[in-house]
Amino acid sequence: MEFLKSFAEKAVAAFTSSPVQAALTIVLLFFVIFYAVSVMERNNAGGLVVVFVLYVLLSGIAFMALKTENTPGVIYVVLPLLFILAVVVLFATEIKRDIWDIGKKKGMEMRHVEKGVVGNPNVNVCIDEIVKALQNMSKNDVGALIILGNGNLPKTVIDSGVVIDSDISSALIESIFFPKTPLHDGAMVINGSRIQAAGCFLPLSQEINLPQDLGTRHRAGIGITETINVTSLIVSEETGIISIAQGGKIKRYADSEMLRQTLKEYYWQDLLGNRQ
């Protein structure tokens, strides 16, 4: 606490030595707190937001009531920052993914498939072909790992496989993942309406609490979503179970409806209401 008090006092003194610096300090703190709150909200941790607000208010009330000449008010700045540090530790995966996406297009702009380039019928064909391939491989217990990318995968990942640059078709997907073919052990990367590459190697998840029955394919599918905003579609070679990984989390036993919903979200939101 002595170190934190000393650090905070020096930092506040440095950043508030002039009105301009004071204003910049306030703006910086606002954005740091705003980002911490947004991370909590996006990860279904709204309860932590309430705890954070109460923590700040009660800390302020306590310091106003108990403040003496020996109690530096700068501690009031330290306490919210301690809470934010806890948020950074708890949501390290989500923050890493946000950092990776800096400079990337967000929201509507991230739609790598534009309506003027790929119309709704073509998107529906892509969805049908992917779902058909996944279900066929599931029935035959053929392992598969498909990454739905936004053109945001590192070049090293693409270069680790073989560039395909082909239209999406169930026959091609199934032939690539057919056992004993050269590319069946790696990941396939789909970018919009094209199969970009296959046989790619991905980083494995470092999460230690994953179920023991999840093998290397599942850990790779989860691991890539921990740091990059992509979706992984995984077929288990042992059980034929289809899983969906997003944001470092995995949903197992995905059926046709779940797959179609995920793929529609991947292409564009306007298709969400157009159930087939």
CATH of the domain at 228: 3.40.1700.10
- Residue ending a domain, choose from 55, 90, 125: 90
Least Cα distance to 241 among 137, 132, 128 occurs for 137
Residue at 214 is within a domain = yes
Task: Give the domain-ending residue among 90, 122, 149.
Answer: 90
Residue 45 lies in a domain: yes
Residue 149 clears pLDDT 80, i.e. is over it: yes
29 and 151 share one domain: no
Answer yes or no: is 149 within a domain: yes
Whether residues 223 and 184 share a domain: the answer is yes
Report the residue count for the chain.
276
Same-domain pairing of 128 and 238: yes
138 shares its domain with 222: yes
* Tokens 């990318």 found at: 149
| Beta pairing, strands 194-200 & 187-191 | antiparallel
pLDDT at 63: 63
Q: Which string of DSSP letters, residue by residue, matches 17-34?
A: SSHHHHHHHHHHHHHHHH
What six digits make up the tokens of 199? Answer: 């046989």
Are 184 and 63 in a shared domain? no
Structure-token match 């590319």, residue found: 183
Domain shared by 125 and 177, yes or no: yes
| 86 and 126 both lie in a single domain | no
Cβ neighbours of residue 213 under 8 Å, at least 6 residues apart? 238
Q: Are residues 37 and 123 in the same domain?
A: no
Q: How far apart are CA 140 and CA 164, in angstroms?
A: 24
- Residue 135 predicted with pLDDT over 80: yes
Domain count, the chain: 2
Q: Is the distance from CB of 234 to CB of 145 less than 8 angstroms?
A: yes
Q: Predicted confidence band at 127 (pLDDT cuts at 50, 70, 90)?
A: very high
Q: Answer whether residue 153 is part of any domain.
A: yes
pLDDT at 237 over 90: yes
The first and second tokens of residue 168, run together, are 């999406």
Query: 84 and 118 share a domain?
Result: no
The stretch 65-93 carries a mean pLDDT of: 66
Q: Which of 44-53, 133-142, 209-218 has the lowest mean pLDDT?
A: 44-53
Does any domain span residue 228? Answer: yes
Q: Tokens at residue 268, please?
A: 């564009």
Residue 20: domain span: 2-90
Q: Is residue 97 part of a domain?
A: no
Dig out the tokens for 179 from the structure: 């056992």
Q: Average pLDDT for residues 55-78, to the nearest whole number?
A: 63
What pLDDT, in 10s, does the model give residues 178-191? 998 999 999 999 99
Report if residue 98 sits inside a domain. no
Model confidence at 138, in pLDDT bands (50, 70, 90)? very high
Runs of H (alpha helix) within the chain = 2-15, 19-42, 46-66, 75-90, 92-100, 120-139, 155-159, 170-176, 216-227, 256-267
Where among 90, 123, 146 does a domain terminate? 90
**Whether residue 177 sits in one domain with residue 59:** no
Q: Answer yes or no: is 101 within a domain.
A: no
Confidence label for 131 from pLDDT (cuts 50, 70 and 90): very high
208 shares a domain with 172: yes
**Shared-domain flag, residues 125 and 172:** yes
